[in-house]
Structure 1
Amino acid sequence: MVKKDEDLKKRSKIILGFIVILIVLVVAIIGGNLFIESKMKTALQENLSKSEFEYNNLNASILERSASLNKAVYRKSGLQITAEEIELEGIDILVYLSSKKIEISTLKLVKPEVTIYTQAQQEKKKDSSKNGNSTKLDMLIKSVEIANGSFKMAKNDSVKNQLFASIPSLTMKDVSADQESFKNGLPFNYEQLQMASDSLFFNLNDQHDLFVEKIKIDGSSLTFNKINIKPLYDKQEFQQHIPYEKDRFDLSIEELALNSFKWNLKNDSLSLLSENMKIANGDIKIYRDKRVKDDTRQKPMYSRMIRELPIRLKLDTIRVKNLAIQYEELVKAKRGAGKVTFKNLDASIYNITNMEMSKKDFPRTDIDVETQFMGEANLNVNWNFDISNKADAFTISGQMDRISSEGINEFLKPALNVKTEGGIRDMRFNFAGNSQNSTGEMKLIYDNFKVEVLREDGEEKNKLLSALANLIVNNEATSAEKEQKNIKTKRTQTKSFWNYLWKNIRNGALKSFL
């Protein structure tokens, strides 16, 4: 009997001990949860003390090493980020307690909305010298996942968006932020990025908007699908919204893809690099009304434009496939617009870069183009220049086969009030120059070439002026090859490179006809 009592007491002690241990564990878990919640709140307060960070509830679990925030809002200097829920998984609380470093396995943001107000950002830059940033943060997140997010940028909260993007999914791997990263334009680093956007809108200027149907980033590849630039006004009204001559663009591109793509933002300087870029299936329509006041500003050459870009650029190879370009120019309303077209345009472009321009082996930019001019003449062009050359030296050569008078007149008749008969069987040109002057040579074969100067209505021939014009056009050697050397052209500084090329070709043609 005594032995049974002793066994009972031992069992009671074991049970009691188990209950006590269980109670202690429960208390520890509850206390641990409260402790973690307190520490998480402290961490948020310490790391975001200079910002306006709000949330409804913070829940933490010591067993799952996780935490969540509901209805989170972060505001700072024109930047606002809201999210329905923020979930943190795999929190290493021991690392935080020992070193104040935050390590998280996964950060999930549900329906985040990022908004940047540029007006406030500009005001922040003006006052940045007065306010130092003493925020100390050392953080590593192995995976960041965003679901159903959006990004927008506007001058302020009462005007039209300058930029809007819908982002159904975004994933970043090995995201880190510390004092060094905060010195850069992008305040964190990451190893891998995957993103899908199903719509993007960007207000290019007061006359045009840009739309992109889909954007996809997968590691080192970036793809845009169905790019459109649309004018805000029709051709007539467009002229009421520009201060001087300006091109009206209507553009669509099926695909633009960059492979081996890298980018970084350091000291407010953006760098874009890609080994291979592809542009496929595009249609570009350009319209210019010459009745509007001239734009008398100096027009830089393309080499200078790239050299002075506000971003650092390095594109090794660009392939253009199946592009169509139409340029219309209106000189007189009664005559309608003159038209120049390029169809089935394919091009290879090498070495577009403004990085390391001081090195001795800086690469030359080469451009090779094949296209159909006015829908009937095969045209090949080879063009090269050195972006680092401040004189903007270039060479350009080309060959065009047979084109009829109908093709020539599609531009000459409306634009210059001139009509031709006969056609060009072959044309070859080679010019070299800089931003000031050029010289070159040209070979031309033409058949029974005659000129008719039209009256103001663009239809009836002006017989007197046509007779005078044909006196200076040489129609004797109808099948002979005319070769002209030392063709000199002075560039008009207020006109584009394409006007410069046109003047070179025109000067060579006139020497051949005389």
Structure 2
Amino acid sequence: MTKTVRIILITLSTLLVLAIVGYFVANTIISSKVENFLKTELPENLSVDYKSLIVSIWQGSIVLVEPKIVNKGSHSSKTIIEVELDTVMVDGFGIWNYLVNDKINVQDVKLRRPKLLYNHNKAIPKSEYKQSSQKQLQQDVTIERFNIQNAEISVKDFETDSLMFQTENLTANVRAIEIDSATVKKRMPFKYEGYNISIDSLFYAMGEYENLKIATVNITQNEANFMDLKLYTKYSKEEFDRMISIERDHFDVSIAKLTLQDQEFGYDKDSIFYFKSPKTIFETPEMYIYRNKLIADDLTRKNLYSKMLREIKFDLTLSEVALNNATIVYSEKVNADMGAGQLSFSSMSADIKNISNTYGESEKTTLDIDAVFMAQTPLKVNWEFDVNDVNDTFIFKVDLGKLPAADLNTFSKPNLKVNLEGELLQTYATVSGDANTSRVDMKVNYEDFKVEVLDGEAKKKKTVLSAIANLFIAKSSDKASDGFREGNKEGIERNYTKSIFNFLWISIKSGLTSVLTGDGKSKD
């Protein structure tokens, strides 16, 4: 072997040894920095334990095996947040950028099978979380892909330990994340380019009485789909009635599919939260509502929908909302010795425009509804109001087809102790009003209309009272030239403790009374 070859071999061997040593030294340095960060640079109330830490500068990867993260909180020794994972994997870690520029550059972050438990403490001010994040961030962070696989999230009440929120098999992907000292000071503490989220099941306790369940959730930037939603009162009607001191609706609502198209959300100028979607679709929603009127009235003031939208604390823009094949059944118990009266709407389709508090004065919220009322009667409704109108003016138009009066007895018999006979062949009504009063204009084509007043148990007819009542009612409308009897009523005062639907009902009832007992002509 010549001297030159020997020198080359020795040089190469030395470089190889130095490279190997350098590799392990660099691994040691990176491991040391990561370990030091986890031990000394995290908040005092946050601890991270793990089975092992694996660093490879050759692959640019860091793996934490079986890490456990615990946040005790500063207000209590009780655990606020606890997270356990199979692994945390970081790939494509920019070693040089980290060592020289103190910036964290990562291609891929994977959290495998995280189980997160959060004990929600209402006593902790929201600002504390933000202040903590502002103080602790030391490096700029960019992550090309962030992935959570098969996560389980549970949120419990700090004081009662009751379940508030839970998800199973949550998978999330977020692209092009950027975090720096400027972003963490904002309400949305990071930037991103795209995302998708899927969840197998979701549970949310909406309050003391109602729960929400969703079978599956799939969300991308282009569309959000929620399958098999159920919003329901978690107690039976009987148990619920015993629990409440003032009247409250008992709910059982299901939606086969809820779709939000091209949804957008964020904070406008880092101040006001906004949410918008050009089209929202409810597929086969079914709503069953029960109210026991024997319980004390809720005497709080009820706002009309225009004012509710106007006073929402964030910017909402739902350009179009569609209800497809909806069902609404409303039951109301008025008499203790009888069942609840019932009104039903089925095969309902609704096209709703501009559910929003962001439009200008020229835009109005409109609802066009087609439905079947009480099993067989076609119903059309057009409803219009202006969110920006502080007087809350509205117009509500009804076109009701052929309705056998007996179909109303499932409501009128138990609630009013009255049976109705005859047939409403065609009914038109227009209710125009504001936050205080309304006017109704009505015309009805009907025949053989009679009222049968019942006794206290709603079993027997009160002959004398029935006869007197029918003396004031025009039996048919056929004496009018066009077959319709007309009537109107103005200055109908709203009961501010009742909902808009009560206001509409007393307005239409006043119009119907005018038609049946008046001279059959409009009185403008």
Do Structure 1 and Structure 2 share a fold, with TM-score over 0.5?
Answer: yes
| Matched letter for residue 443 of structure 2 | K
1:301 is aligned to 304
| Matched letter for residue 471 of structure 1 | L
- Tell me if 1:123 matches 2:124: yes
Measured at CA, do residues 69 and 124 of structure 1 come closer, stay the same or move farther in structure 2, by a change above 3 Å? farther
2:438 is aligned to 438
Q: Is the 8 A contact 1:488 1:504 kept in 2?
A: no
Measured at CA, do residues 144 and 476 of structure 1 come closer, stay the same or move farther in structure 2, by a change above 3 Å? closer
2:182 is aligned to 180
Q: Give the number of equivalent residue pairs.
A: 504
Q: Is the 8 A contact 1:379 1:399 kept in 2?
A: yes
Following superposition, the deviation at residue 226 of structure 1 comes to 0.3
Following superposition, the deviation at residue 397 of structure 1 comes to 0.7
2:207 is aligned to 205
- Tell me if 1:87 matches 2:89: yes
Measured at CA, do residues 416 and 257 of structure 1 come closer, stay the same or move farther in structure 2, by a change above 3 Å? same
Within 5 Å, which residues of 2 pair with 1:465-504? 465-475=465-475, 477-478=477-478, 480-504=483-507
Once residues 435 and 29 of structure 1 are traced to their aligned partners in structure 2, the CA distance between those partners, rounded to angstroms, is 76
1:272 is aligned to 275
Q: Is the 8 A contact 2:444 2:477 kept in 1?
A: no
2:372 is aligned to 372
1:405-448 CA-partner distances (Å, limit 9, x unpaired): 22121211111111111011111111211111112311111111
| Matched letter for residue 510 of structure 1 | T
1:442-483 CA-partner distances (Å, limit 9, x unpaired): 111111111111000111001121111111111253463012
1:382 is aligned to 382
- Tell me if 1:134 matches 2:135: yes
Q: Is the 8 A contact 1:75 1:81 kept in 2?
A: no
Instruction: Choose which of 134, 159, 162 in structure 2 pairs with 1:160.
Output: 162
1:175-226 CA-partner distances (Å, limit 9, x unpaired): 1112232223342222111111000011122222111000001222110000
Following superposition, the deviation at residue 83 of structure 1 comes to 2.3
Once residues 391 and 420 of structure 1 are traced to their aligned partners in structure 2, the CA distance between those partners, rounded to angstroms, is 37
- Tell me if 1:34 matches 2:28: yes
Once residues 188 and 347 of structure 1 are traced to their aligned partners in structure 2, the CA distance between those partners, rounded to angstroms, is 39
2:417 is aligned to 417
Instruction: Choose which of 25, 32, 46 in structure 2 pairs with 1:52.
Output: 46
Once residues 272 and 316 of structure 2 are traced to their aligned partners in structure 1, the CA distance between those partners, rounded to angstroms, is 11
Once residues 234 and 81 of structure 2 are traced to their aligned partners in structure 1, the CA distance between those partners, rounded to angstroms, is 29
Following superposition, the deviation at residue 126 of structure 1 comes to 7.8
2:520 is aligned to none
Measured at CA, do residues 47 and 179 of structure 1 come closer, stay the same or move farther in structure 2, by a change above 3 Å? farther
1:18-55 CA-partner distances (Å, limit 9, x unpaired): 22111111001111111221233345567634551303
Q: Is the 8 A contact 2:361 2:386 kept in 1?
A: no
1:116-146 CA-partner distances (Å, limit 9, x unpaired): 3321x53234868998942334211000011
Once residues 276 and 402 of structure 1 are traced to their aligned partners in structure 2, the CA distance between those partners, rounded to angstroms, is 33
Measured at CA, do residues 122 and 447 of structure 1 come closer, stay the same or move farther in structure 2, by a change above 3 Å? same
Once residues 502 and 203 of structure 2 are traced to their aligned partners in structure 1, the CA distance between those partners, rounded to angstroms, is 32
1:3 is aligned to none
2:393 is aligned to 393
Instruction: Choose which of 63, 71, 77 in structure 2 pairs with 1:75.
Output: 71
Measured at CA, do residues 47 and 140 of structure 1 come closer, stay the same or move farther in structure 2, by a change above 3 Å? farther
Measured at CA, do residues 172 and 398 of structure 1 come closer, stay the same or move farther in structure 2, by a change above 3 Å? same
User: Could you state the TM-score of these two structures normalised by the residue count of structure 2?
Assistant: 0.91
Once residues 249 and 122 of structure 1 are traced to their aligned partners in structure 2, the CA distance between those partners, rounded to angstroms, is 30
Greater mean alpha carbon deviation, residues 343-352 or residues 154-163: 154-163
2:521 is aligned to none
Once residues 271 and 208 of structure 2 are traced to their aligned partners in structure 1, the CA distance between those partners, rounded to angstroms, is 26
Once residues 382 and 101 of structure 1 are traced to their aligned partners in structure 2, the CA distance between those partners, rounded to angstroms, is 59
Measured at CA, do residues 259 and 295 of structure 1 come closer, stay the same or move farther in structure 2, by a change above 3 Å? same
1:350 is aligned to 353
User: Could you state the TM-score of these two structures normalised by the residue count of structure 1?
Assistant: 0.93
Q: Is the 8 A contact 2:406 2:419 kept in 1?
A: no
Following superposition, the deviation at residue 165 of structure 1 comes to 1.1
| Matched letter for residue 481 of structure 1 | F
Within 5 Å, which residues of 2 pair with 1:60-71? 60-70=55-65, 71=67
1:285 is aligned to 288
Once residues 74 and 313 of structure 1 are traced to their aligned partners in structure 2, the CA distance between those partners, rounded to angstroms, is 37
Paired residue secondary structure (2:337) = helix
Paired residue secondary structure (2:439) = strand
Q: Is the 8 A contact 2:341 2:414 kept in 1?
A: yes
1:102 is aligned to 104
Following superposition, the deviation at residue 341 of structure 1 comes to 0.1
1:463 is aligned to 463
- What is the aligned-residue RMSD (CA, Å)? 2.2
Which blocks of at least 5 consecutive residues in structure 2 are unaligned? 74-79, 518-524
Which blocks of at least 5 consecutive residues in structure 1 are unaligned? 1-6
Once residues 144 and 126 of structure 2 are traced to their aligned partners in structure 1, the CA distance between those partners, rounded to angstroms, is 32
1:4 is aligned to none
Following superposition, the deviation at residue 389 of structure 1 comes to 2.0
Once residues 201 and 322 of structure 1 are traced to their aligned partners in structure 2, the CA distance between those partners, rounded to angstroms, is 25
Q: Is the 8 A contact 2:250 2:291 kept in 1?
A: yes
2:7 is aligned to 13
Once residues 212 and 476 of structure 1 are traced to their aligned partners in structure 2, the CA distance between those partners, rounded to angstroms, is 51
2:254 is aligned to 252
Q: Is the 8 A contact 1:72 1:86 kept in 2?
A: no
Following superposition, the deviation at residue 157 of structure 1 comes to 7.3
Once residues 213 and 177 of structure 2 are traced to their aligned partners in structure 1, the CA distance between those partners, rounded to angstroms, is 30
Paired residue secondary structure (1:17) = helix
